[in-house]
Structures are given as C-alpha cells and as structure tokens.
C-alpha cells in the first residue's frame, strides 16, 4: 500500500503495516517483520519512481512476484536435503572407486565398473553445483531482490484483461533501479517455424549461462481454445535445474524413461482450477464484495493445494 491509511481503510489493518508478502498458501513469506517492511519500503520506492500510483489511480497494488535468492526461504532444504545428498554421493563414490582400485590391483577386470563410477561421479558433481546460481548470503533486506511477473489487481481493477507484454513492460519500468531485478523476456509467433527455432536457441542460451529455464505463456492473460481454458503458463526448465528437483542421476537413460511416463493431467487440471478461482477471488475483492465471498474462492484454492500431487511436476 502507498500509505498506512490506505492499508487500514482497504484491508482493515489495525497496526502500522503498509503491506504484506505471502506465499501461495497464504503464509508470511518472511518470518522477520522488520525485513518484510524493509523489503516493501524498497519496492514502494520503485513504484514511486515509475509513477504507477498516479498512472493507475490507486493507492495499493497486488503483484505476483518471485523473491530471490530462494535460499532465503529454502535454506533448510539445502542443509537437510541438497547438501547431505551431495556430500554422501561424493563420499560413497569415492569409497567405491577406492574399492575398485584394490580389486583392479588383484587382477580383476573393473573397466565397466570404473566407467559407471566415473559417470555417476560426474552427475553427482553437477548436482552439487546446480543450486549455486540461486544462493547468495542474506544478512539484511538489501540482499534481497524482487522479480515481478504480473500486476494482478489495484483499486477498482483486475488486470487480467491486459496481455503479458503489458505486464512485463510494467515490470521493466519497476526494474530501472532499486530492489526490482530485470526479467529477460521475449515474444515469439509460434506459427512461424523460424521464430520457434529462435525461441529454442534463446532458451538454450539462458540455461547455458546458469539460468533455471523459461516460462512459456500465451500472449493474452486469459486464453481459450477449442477445449476450453488454455494452461496459463508452462515452465520449461533446464537440465541442471531439473537435477536439483529430481536428483543427481535423473537424466540417466533408465530414469528418463520412467520420468517420461508420468501423468500430468491431474496437475494441469488443478492449475487451471486454481487460476480460475484466483481470478474470481480478485474480482470479488476489487468489487468490494463481502470477505466471505472472497474467502469462498481462497479456501477452494487452499483445498486444491492440499491434493496429493507430486509438487515436482
């Protein structure tokens, strides 16, 4: 919110907070209130500099964004999962190679075994390095960065009727200084084979430089096809980011066969339902309908989030 008064009058805040940062399940993103307020102050300064309050005739904004580094929120995953897996893989493979060398000294043919150990060691090393681009020390709010994707709503408006080029252009304006980082994006005509090849080359360049990948979206925020609502976004991740998610040896031929047999229909249907419910919740809130009407949609989304679907899909 632009002011404390706006937060109190529009959101019923009783204290001096001027905003909030939530996870997708409605929890506070940061446990430190001072850091939350500090990050919002910096984001508010970017909005001030871009002149959006006046342009959009609003005193509050709802943004869909990523806060980086993700290690600021997921450090426990690195400590309890990623780090131990990398360390144990390296130690286990080292012991395996030592045993193999002792067998070789006794005249045992271990060429195939050593080749497998070398292959697994290479994959384990890639796994240990895979998350480093997404991790940096965070000692205070100045170490955090925000990458906005969409302006979801403001006073009197839900912005789903504007296409993604408009949303990303607005994000570019916020990124001209301060806490907001620039998100690289491109627009391609998928009916043009040359443009498709260019999109693939751009994606390959992104992941080769250590990027996570890209998110493919229809140009229009809400798009319908012959079978109804089209998936609003599709993540196309790179090989090394997928290694973080699925493990060091996910790209071994046998494992790839298994992964390609996954059924994604349930996940897609959930995503479409959550998207539609979120849109409806925003429309009801902006229209100043009773909160119980907004919460009908919100609790429906939370219920869908509790469905037993593999979160890695």
Residue 60's closest CA among 202, 157, 173?
Answer: 157
pLDDT at 209: 87
Taking a C-beta distance cutoff of 8 angstroms, is the pair 61, 18 a contact? no
For residue 308, the model assigns a pLDDT of: 66
Residues 54, 79, single domain; the answer is no
205 and 97, same structural domain? no
Pairing outcome for strands 234-237 and 213-216? antiparallel
CA distance 106 to 104: 5
Quick one: how many helices (H) and strands (E) in the chain?
12, 7
Within 8 A by CB and 6+ apart from 145, the residues are: 67, 68, 69, 179, 180, 181
Quick one: 5 and 62 in the same domain?
yes
Cα distances from 17 to residues 5, 151, 204, 251, 295, in angstroms, run 10, 21, 43, 47, 22
Q: What is the DSSP letter of 61?
A: E
Determine contact, residues 195/188, Cβ cutoff 8 Å.
Answer: yes
Paired sense of beta strands 213-216 and 224-225, if any = unpaired
* pTM for the full predicted model: 0.87
**Residues 256 and 117 reside in one and the same domain:** no
Question: What total number of domains does the chain contain?
Answer: 4
Same domain assignment for residues 181 and 220: no
What residue numbers bound the domain in which 222 lies? 186-261
How far, in Å, CA of 305 to CA of 300, rounded?
Answer: 9
225 and 237 inside one domain: yes
Mark which of 220, 244, 261 sits at the end of a domain: 261
Residues 269 and 145 in one domain: no
On whether both 65 and 143 belong to a single domain, the answer is yes
Instruction: Enumerate residues 6+ apart whose C-beta is below 8 A from 5.
Output: none
Same domain, 126 and 169: no
| Helices of type H across 51-148 | 52-56, 71-77, 83-105, 111-130
Among 241, 261, 281, the domain boundary falls at: 261
For residues 30 and 126, membership in a common domain is answered with: no
| Whole-angstrom distance, CA of residue 19 vs CA of residue 95 | 53
Point out the residues of the chain with pLDDT beneath 70. 308-313
* Shared domain check, 148 and 90: no
178: left (phi > 0), else alpha (psi -120 to 50), else beta?
left
Dist CA 111 CA 102 (whole Å): 13
| One domain for residues 273 and 144 | no
């Amino acid at each position: 919110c632009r002011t404390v008064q706006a937060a109190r009058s529009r959101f019923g805040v009783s204290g001096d907070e001027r905003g909030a940062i939530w996870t997708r399940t409605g929890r506070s993103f940061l446990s430190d209130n001072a850091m939350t307020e500090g990050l919002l102050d910096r984001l508010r300064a970017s909005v001030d500099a871009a002149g959006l309050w006046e342009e959009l005739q609003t005193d509050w904004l709802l943004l869909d964004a990523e806060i980086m580094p993700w290690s600021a929120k997921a450090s426990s995953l690195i400590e309890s999962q990623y780090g131990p897996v990398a360390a144990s893989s390296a130690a286990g493979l080292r012991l395996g190679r030592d045993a193999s060398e002792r067998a070789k000294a006794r005249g045992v043919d271990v060429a195939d075994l050593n080749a497998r150990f070398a292959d697994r060691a290479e994959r384990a090393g890639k796994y240990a390095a895979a998350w480093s681009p997404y991790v940096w020390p965070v000692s205070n709010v100045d170490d955090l960065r925000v990458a906005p994707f969409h302006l979801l709503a403001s006073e009197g408006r839900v912005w789903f009727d504007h296409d993604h080029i408009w949303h990303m252009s607005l994000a570019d304006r916020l990124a001209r200084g301060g806490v907001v980082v620039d998100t690289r994006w491109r627009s391609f005509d998928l009916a043009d084979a040359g443009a498709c090849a260019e999109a693939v080359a751009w994606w390959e360049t992104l992941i080769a430089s250590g990027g996570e990948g890209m998110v493919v979206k229809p140009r229009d925020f809400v798009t319908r096809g012959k079978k109804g609502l089209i998936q609003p976004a599709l993540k196309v991740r790179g090989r090394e980011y997928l290694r973080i998610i699925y493990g060091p040896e996910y790209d071994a031929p046998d494992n790839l066969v298994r992964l390609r047999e996954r059924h994604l229909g349930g996940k897609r249907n959930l995503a479409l339902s959550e998207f539609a419910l979120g849109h409806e919740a925003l429309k009801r809130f902006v229209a100043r309908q009773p909160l119980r009407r907004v919460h009908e949609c919100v609790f429906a989304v939370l219920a869908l989030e509790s469905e037993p679907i593999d979160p890695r899909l």
